[in-house]
Amino acid sequence: MTLRKKKFAKKKEEILHSAINIIAERGYHGTTMEDIASNLFITKGSLYYYFKDKQELVFQSQIMLLLRSIDNMIAVQLEDILIAEKLRKAMRVHVTYLLRERSGFEMMIQPDHLFSKQQLEEIVSLREQYGTYFDQMINDGIEEKVFHVTDSKIVRNIILGAMNWVTQWYSPKGKKDVTEIADTIADHLMRVVIKN
């Protein structure tokens, strides 16, 4: 009974992981159900036992990614450290997560036409929630007078953009490993907010 359900849930997750990986590589349209399935050594027909259709499958992957990133941020949020250190840590976590998971970042870019209105609303809301953690930290820093005063929304977007772009240029073959890159990026971006 519960065993069955657990297996079902586990398989579902496996499929989502497969989807995330392949879509990260080839984009939504470039990824076929066949691709996702064969990656797990099953036939594409099976996918429909777990998900209504491709859109739903991809949507779930997206949500999964977002929820995980949010969890990351919550963990950082809870730490009891100076605000500047907290923001720096958030940056490091964000970048390493991005590079380690190679997360279906592709999808995060203009998902507008891939999903239904309802699905989009959910995605946008989660994205916004994620961004809010950064706003919060920035505002805290401003209040504590360690960050210079600015429009936290814009600063947040600058920071997120600089970080997200890392997937475009980072190569594991370079001199720096993921952690070092994350540190370097965080160091540079702290300069955007910190008072001098």
Binding residues (CB under 7 A) for DNA: these are 1, 3-4, 7-8, 11, 31-34, 41-46, 48-50, 53-55
Q: What are phi and psi of 147, to 5 degrees?
A: -105, 150
Largest CA distance in the chain: 62
If binding is defined by CB under 8 A, does position 160 make contact with a copy of itself?
yes
Q: For 171, phi and psi rounded to 5 degrees?
A: -125, 130
- Of these, 13, 30, 67, 179, which contacts a copy of itself (CB under 8 A)? 30
Q: Which does 4 bind (CB under 5 to 8 A by kind): a copy of itself, DNA, none?
A: DNA
Q: For residue 57, how many C-alpha atoms fall within 13 Å in the half-sphere facing its CB? A: 29
Q: Which is nearer to a copy of itself, 70 or 192 (CB)?
A: 192
Residue type, 3: L
Q: Which does 70 bind (CB under 5 to 8 A by kind): DNA, a copy of itself, none?
A: none
Q: Please state, as a whole number, how many other Cβ atoms lie within 10 Å of the Cβ of residue 92.
A: 21
Q: Cβ neighbours of residue 149 under 8 Å, at least 6 residues apart?
A: 142
Residue 14 or 35: the one with the smaller Cβ distance to a copy of itself is 35
- Select 70 or 190, whichever has its Cβ closest to a copy of itself: 190
Q: Which one of DNA, a copy of itself, none is in contact with 173 (Cβ closer than 5 to 8 A by kind)?
A: none
